[in-house]
Amino acid sequence: MVNEWSTPVGIITDKDIMRYTLENDSKKLDQVIALSVMSKPLVKDTESTPVSSCAKRMLDTAISSVVVVRGDKVVGIVTKTDLCMFYATSGERRDEVRDVMTVRPITIGGSQSILDAARIMCEKNISRLPVVDGHLEGIVTASDLTAVNPALSPAATRAKSKDPLMWEKLAPPKEAGPKSVADVMTRNPITILYTAYLSDAAKLMIFHHVSGLPVLDAANVLVGIVTKTDVTKALTGEKRWLRA
C-alpha cells in the first residue's frame, strides 16, 4: 500500500484479510477500506541489503515478506519463497536437512477430527501436521482446514481463542462434509531424507509449491520436518541445532 505521494505505508496479505473478516464478520469486504486491513508499520529493506540481513529481519519480525525500497519508492518485494529459490540456486551445499529441521515434530492421527488439527495448530502456532498411524500417511496443513471451513484457520482460532466455548461452536454438524484428518490430508506427501542437502529440500519445496517437507531417516521413519522458514534461518548463518 502507498499513500498519495507513492510512499509505502503498509502491506495487505491474505492473512490480513482473513483476520479482519473474522474479527469484523458483520462487514463485507467491499465496504472496507485498505487502511483498515493492512499490516503496519511496513518492514522495509533497500536493494543493497545483504540477503542474510533480509532473512534475519523476516525471522525477527515473524513475517513472510519484506518490501524493497529505493528512497521512498517501492521497487520490489522479497518473500520466503524468493529466499528459498535463492538458497536452492546459490550452489552452496554446506547445510544438511538435519542441521536445521524441527526434530520430533508434532503429529496427528488420520482418524482424529479436523477440529483436533485446528486446535493443535492454534496451540502450537504451527501450520502443518504430519499424519502418522504407525507410519507417515500424509500431511495436513492450515490451508487444508481453511478450505473445508474458514473458521478453522489458525488466524480464526487464535482470534476467537478467548471464548471458552469456541471449539464447541466450531465443531462441524454431523451431516457436514469431511470431518476427519484423513478426509482432507494430502496423501503420500513429498518427503526428504534427513541426510539430504538443504538446497535439495529448497528445490523440492519450490518445484512442488509446498512450504514444508516431512523428513525421514534411512528406515523411512519420520524424524523431523523442514520448512521455508528453516531455509530462511540457514541464510542468516544461524542454526537451530547442530548434529552431535
- Provide DSSP, 28-44: -GGGS-HHHH-B-SPPE
Question: 229 and 138 in one domain?
Answer: yes
pLDDT at res. 12 = 57
User: Cell numbers at residue 120, please?
Assistant: 493443535
What are 187-227's pLDDT values in tens digits? Answer: 999 999 999 999 999 999 999 999 999 999 999 999 999 99
DSSP state of 109: -
Report the domain count for the chain: 2
Find the CATH number of the domain harbouring 141: 3.10.580.10
41 located within any domain: yes
- Answer yes or no: pTM beyond 0.95: no
Within-domain flag for 143? yes
Find the domain containing 113 and state its range. Answer: 97-235
Q: Domain check: are 121 and 178 in the same one? A: yes
Closest to 65 measured CA to CA, from 96, 89, 38: 38
Question: Which residues in the chain land under pLDDT 50?
Answer: 164-167, 169, 173, 175, 241-244
Nearest Cα residue to 119 out of 130, 108, 110: 108
Residue 37 lies in a domain: yes
Per-residue model confidence as pLDDT tens digits over 82-99: 999 999 988 666 789 999
Q: How many helices (H) and strands (E) does the chain have?
A: 12, 10
Do residue 39 and residue 72 come from a single domain?
A: yes
Whether residue 244 lies inside any domain: the answer is no
Verify that 73 and 123 share a domain, yes or no.
Answer: no
